[in-house]
Amino acid sequence: MGTSALVTSVTILLIIFFLFREGFGIFSSPSVEKGYVIAVNKANPVGTLHSEEIKKIFDHEITDWSELGGPKKPITLFRISDITKYYKEQELGANLELLPQKLNELLARNPGIIAFLPDSYLPDNFNGKILKLENISVLDFLGGKEWFPTAQPSAQFGAWPLILGTLYVSLVAILLALPLGLATAIYLAEIADRRTRDILKPVIELLAGIPSVVYGFFGLVVIVPLLKDTFDLDSGQSGLAGGILLAIMALPTIITVSEDALRNTPNSMREASLAMGASKWQTIYKIVVPYSSSGISAAAILGIGRAMGETMAVLMVTGNAAVIPYSILEPLRTIPATIAAELGEAPTGGLHYQALFTLGCILFIITVATNLTASYISRKQLKAS
């Protein structure tokens, strides 16, 4: 037993170490992919740019260097694919051997230029100035409002919409699932006859074995159209659809664990309560439920864990929109859905890859914090009882 516990503990620690090692690598890197640089004319006084500023420049939201503390000159955007606008193919050489020299000339004669270039094309005697790009900070990552990891030249890693989406969906799921699950558990443990219990409990437990993608199809066919018609939405794919679907998925766990906890209440406590004149409902409310509060809290923790960690079903019914949700009726995207949708397309070791691991770290921290809070509440309830 001791060896098994040691191996399990070491394995968990190694998983956590690997997760955080990969995730925290993003905070030591600028938002421009490795192998590329942002260059300007040597006389340009601007020396540092933030990822959001780079995005606004290349989105034509910032059009003059004076907006960045530089001279009053219009900004000229340049990507390597634009080289043929300035030089004929013959001038670049048969094998582009003259391209570095032409880039030098272009940067020297265009004082307002900003160029996004592969560093392999820079000549040894480069006449331009390579801008220093600020590293992605923890605050930028957590508080950023845009998640656009494939944007060029500067990827946007704002996790705030994904964090909000995860919390919204999980909150709706647990608010729906916990009261309904607890009520069903009380019915099975305290009210239903043996025959009814023997029929219902296997059916409820069977629901836990249904694949999540099947729940997702059910959500698309039933829940999404229902919400669309009920609330007159453009699309029923929303945070509410995800919350309802997760509530359904979490119910078997909450019901099963809560029912087992309720049935473990000693019969002597029920009999003593009834002997003192309490009704059956008063006995359930005043004696059975408080005695089983620890098990009910465990059921809530497991239900929340199911809600926060679910991927495929949520991806199918929430609209998969990485934007800040201002209403639970709007499309959104959760952290697990983002990791599942994007990890296969992220180059190993790149910024996008590291950002997805960082999302995994955030999800881990949220889950641990939720579990610790629920455990603390459970201990207080046990002391009070």
Give 171-196 pLDDT, tens digit per residue: 999 899 999 999 999 999 889 888 88
Q: What is the pLDDT of residue 181?
A: 92
Q: pLDDT category, 303, cuts 50, 70, 90? A: confident
Q: What is the largest CA-CA distance in the chain?
A: 102
* DSSP E strand stretches across 41-164: 48-49, 76-79, 113-118, 129-130, 132-133, 147-148, 156-157
Crossing angle (nearest 10°) for helices 335-342 and 351-384 = 150
Give 342-363 pLDDT, tens digit per residue: 998 888 888 999 999 999 999 9
Q: What is the pLDDT of residue 1?
A: 59
CB 31 within 8 A of CB 136: yes
CB 38 within 8 A of CB 54: yes
Q: What is the pLDDT of residue 382?
A: 60
Q: How far is CA 194 from the centre of its chain?
A: 43
Q: pLDDT category, 96, cuts 50, 70, 90? A: confident
What integer is the mean pLDDT of 93-103?
A: 88
Q: pLDDT category, 380, cuts 50, 70, 90? A: low
For residue 36, give the H/E element and its range: strand 36-40
Q: What is the pLDDT of residue 332?
A: 94
- β-sheet bridge partners, residue 30: 135
What integer is the mean pLDDT of 319-344?
A: 91
Q: pLDDT category, 198, cuts 50, 70, 90? A: confident
Q: What is the pLDDT of residue 216?
A: 92
CB 145 within 8 A of CB 161: yes
Q: How many other β-carbons are positioned within 10 Å of the β-carbon of residue 348?
A: 9
- Is it the case that residue 95 has pLDDT exceeding 90? no
Provide the CB-side half-sphere exposure for 135 (13 A, CA).
Answer: 8
* DSSP E strand stretches across 54-164: 76-79, 113-118, 129-130, 132-133, 147-148, 156-157
Q: Which amino acid belongs to residue 227?
A: L
Q: What is the pLDDT of residue 206?
A: 86
CB 108 within 8 A of CB 39: no
Q: What is the pLDDT of residue 126?
A: 86
Q: What angle do CA 316, 322, 326 make, to 5 degrees?
A: 100
CB 246 within 8 A of CB 306: yes
Please tell me the distance from the alpha carbon of residue 385 to that of residue 377, in angstroms, as a whole number.
12
Q: What is the pLDDT of residue 381?
A: 59
CATH superfamily of the 160-384 domain = MetI-like (1.10.3720.10)
- Percent of residues, the chain, with pLDDT higher than 70: 97
What integer is the mean pLDDT of 326-338?
A: 92
Could you check whether 36-135 and 160-384 share the same CATH topology? no
Q: What is the pLDDT of residue 223?
A: 95
- Is it the case that residue 297 has pLDDT exceeding 90? no
CB 335 within 8 A of CB 363: yes
Burial of 228 (0-12, 13-18, 19+ CB in 10 A): middle
Query: Greater confidence, 126 or 4?
Result: 126
Please tell me the distance from the alpha carbon of residue 288 to that of residue 291, in angstroms, as a whole number.
5
Q: What is the pLDDT of residue 30?
A: 86
CB 384 within 8 A of CB 291: no
Q: What angle do CA 101, 48, 36 make, to 5 degrees?
A: 45
User: CA torsion, points 48, 50, 52, 57, in degrees to nearest 10?
Assistant: 10
What CATH number matches the domain at 36-135, 1.10.1740.10, 3.30.450.20, 3.40.50.1100, 3.40.190.10?
A: 3.40.190.10
Q: Rounded to two decimals, what is the model's pTM?
A: 0.88
Give 233-266 pLDDT, tens digit per residue: 888 899 999 999 999 999 998 998 899 889 888 8
Domain ranges (residues) in the chain: 36-135, 160-384
Where would I find the H helices in 232-347? 239-263, 267-275, 280-283, 289-291, 293-309, 312-317, 335-342
Q: Which of 300, 183, 162 is nearest to 242 (CA)?
A: 162
Q: What is the pLDDT of residue 310?
A: 83
Q: What is the pLDDT of residue 238?
A: 94
- Is it the case that residue 314 has pLDDT exceeding 60? yes
Give 105-153 pLDDT, tens digit per residue: 999 999 999 999 998 888 888 888 999 888 888 999 999 999 999 888 8
Give me the chain's average pLDDT, please: 88
CB 317 within 8 A of CB 224: yes
